[in-house]
Amino acid sequence: MQIAVIGVGAWLGACGHAWAQPTPLYPPATRTAPPPAQTAPYSPPAGPTYPQPATPAPAPAPVQTSPAEMQSPTDSTAASPDAIQIGELPAFDISTLGLLDAENGGFGTDLWARTERPLVETLIAQLPMQAASRSRNIIAARLLLSRANPPAGERSDGHALLALRLERLAAGGWLDAVGQLVGKLAEPDKSPAILRSHADYLLVQNDLRTVCPIADQLVADSPDIFWLKLSAICKLDAGNLSAAQLAAELIAELDPTDTAFQSLFLQAAGGAPATLPDDFSPTLVQLLLIRRLGLPLTEAAVNAASPASLLALTRMRDLDPGLVIAAAERAEAIGALPTSELIKLYTAAPPLPEDPEAAKAITAPLRNAGLYQAVQAQQASRARALALSAAFDAAHESDTLGPVARSNLTAMASLQPGRELLWLSGNLTRGLLIAGDSRAALSWYQMVRLAASPANIEAQRMAQFLWPLMRLALSEAQMADDPTQLVRWLDLHLDRARPETRMQAELLMAAMDGLGLSVSEPALTRLALFP
């Protein structure tokens, strides 16, 4: 059933993110008007800051034991309720650390109740963090950031469970959260595995002053060649060329496949210019060298970058602004970058050229940024609607509807439903659903339904198109579960000349069934009779 629901999301075109909106770890978009468009030279802002809990998170308390367990082993008599109990406190389990609780997006302290610790560790290690769905990634991050009692069963090293959570967070690009969690630990609790994830956070911050001593500390004992590569760069940065070259020679022997690192390091050490492979997917260590050398990157390299590398790319001030925005759009789309940070990049980007031909020649990310600025500049509803329409068209072409819609939420919400804007209602409703404003989306959908009649074919078609999106995105409190609506939709949607309409109907009905919505017998019969 889950596969069917995911399939419907692909067909509905980016609205899948709105089916079951998770509690975000940061606001995906805000109603506060963003700053006006800037014409100053492009200067990317500092990286994102993940939200702190509403109040400073206290260190989680260890699991409480009974008074009998707390009693001194030498005292064989039962203690009175008022007596002072003497005994050994259980060791603090650092795996309980988290940034979220049930009040601010976490899953509660009983998250792992009735689940054995080895199973929890196995499943966390396999948790996908780079899904195309922003909602899935945010839900996974909420789970990893939840403050919870440790799982049942024999306690393994508490570092192991926390290290697994940190590694998965780093893999998904949630590096500021990694930095916050590691910041809560005492130095003795920072195991090599924990420090490995923390190093990714420090590299995105370009904080060599902090990360280099860690590399020097671990390079001798850790089998992870990451530390040797980082140590080589640190030695080069410190001017110890001979030690850096020795480390580079060892790296070439131990990891001969990383030709990109070898080529970049050779140029950084004063050798020949680096040549990067066509299928280059930059790691954080490689980006450290690229930043040091001031080398350009290709669009293909940005598209192949991991979530962590995407975050690093958004903070590289010397990189082409179009590539910086492309990295930010990808990071925002998967939940690794707050929408507010993408808005800052859109605002600081060069404005669209006034010459139409020149405007067509710019890259898609810069076009999205320029159109965002154009939307913000419009005060009249009609002009703003036209600018939004152009922004939607460009987003469809570049497959960036999610980031563009969330960035333009304020502008979309400023428009009032009216038949004079019926032509834009489809894009507006979808955009509002993607951005998480289901109430405003419902207002537009209701306007379309009221306008639909045999005399208004455009409104009828729009209502037919929007109904599945609204049915999956809204709760029953917002939209009553009417089984007859599905039958009417099938009558209008199924088309013998378009066999794909049957598959679309099957996916929709499977998703509705999975969400507990009514799939009536007449609807099943209607689909079964369709050839």
Q: What angle do CA 26, 31, 37 make, to 5 degrees?
A: 100
Query: What pLDDT does residue 158 have?
Result: 64
pTM for this entry: 0.80
Contact 427, 408 (CB under 8 A): no
Contact 134, 17 (CB under 8 A): yes
Listed as ranges, residues in the chain with pLDDT below 70 are 1-92, 154-158
Contact 219, 231 (CB under 8 A): yes
Whole-number Å distance between alpha carbons of 344 and 402: 16
| Burial (CB count <10 Å: 0-12, 13-18, 19+), residue 126 | exposed
Q: How far is CA 89 from CA 93, 232, 492, in A?
A: 12, 44, 68
Whole-number Å distance between alpha carbons of 166 and 176: 11
Q: How far is C-alpha 494 from the chain's CA centre?
A: 35
CA-wise closest residue to 373 among 355, 390, 360, 356: 390
Query: What pLDDT does residue 84 have?
Result: 60
Residue 161 φ/ψ region, left for φ over 0, alpha for ψ in the -120 to 50 degree band, beta for the rest:
alpha
Query: What pLDDT does residue 279 have?
Result: 75
Provide long-range contacts, Cβ within 8 A and 24+ apart, for 19-24. Answer: 19/135, 19/472, 19/473, 19/511, 19/515, 20/135, 21/135, 21/436, 21/438, 22/105, 22/135, 22/138, 22/139, 22/142, 23/104, 23/105, 23/142, 24/105, 24/138, 24/436
DSSP assignment of 98-147 equals: -SB-TTTT---TTTTTT-BHHHHHHHHHT-----S-HHHHHHHHHHHHB-
